[in-house]
């Protein structure tokens, strides 16, 4: 079952750009891991301290392997170096994935293909 992780991480605003630049190779490593569907870290456009994280993993085994990978512990070290002051990371099990727009181009709040 697909797993999505959404997180907000607050770092020293003066170090955020440097952190993201140093994190880029680690993000690329994660994207190359088996089972990684999406792995995106970016600067929040309203909060100068915040980094927004979106990850999508094929399944629990892929996420477990990611947590055991050297790049993961290196990323944790980079966050500490960037003066992380807060973190809120949540994971979600996803049982159904659908497009937002139906074949007629209409945005749909309901799940219409199941």
Phi, psi of 108 (to 5 degrees): -125, 130
Percent of the chain at pLDDT > 70 equals: 100
Convert the chain into a string of H (helix), E (strand) and C (coil): CEEEEEEEEECCHHHHHHHHHHHHHHHHHHHHCCCEEEEEEEECCCCCCEEEEEEEECCHHHHHHHHHCHHHHHHHHHHHHCCCCEEEEEEEEECCCCCCECCCCCECCCCCCC
Report whether CATH 3.30.70.100 matches the domain 2-94. yes
16-71 pLDDT, tens per residue? 999 999 999 999 999 999 999 999 999 999 999 999 999 999 999 999 999 999 99
Q: Contact 62/36 with Cβ under 8 angstroms? A: yes
Tell me the pTM: 0.90
At 50 the three-state DSSP class reads strand
Task: Identify whether the C-beta of residue 2 lies closer than 8 Å to the C-beta of residue 93.
Answer: yes
């Amino acid at each position: 079952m697909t797993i999505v992780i959404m997180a907000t991480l607050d770092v020293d605003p003066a170090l955020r750009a440097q952190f993201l630049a140093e994190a880029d190779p680690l993000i690329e490593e994660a994207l190359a891991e088996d089972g990684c569907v999406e792995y995106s870290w970016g600067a929040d456009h309203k909060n100068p301290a915040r980094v927004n994280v979106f990850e999508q993993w094929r399944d629990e085994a892929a996420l477990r392997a990611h947590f055991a990978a050297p790049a993961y512990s290196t990323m944790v070290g980079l966050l500490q170096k960037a003066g992380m002051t807060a973190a809120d990371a949540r994971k979600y099990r996803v049982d159904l994935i659908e497009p937002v727009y139906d074949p007629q181009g209409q945005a749909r709040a309901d799940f219409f293909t199941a």
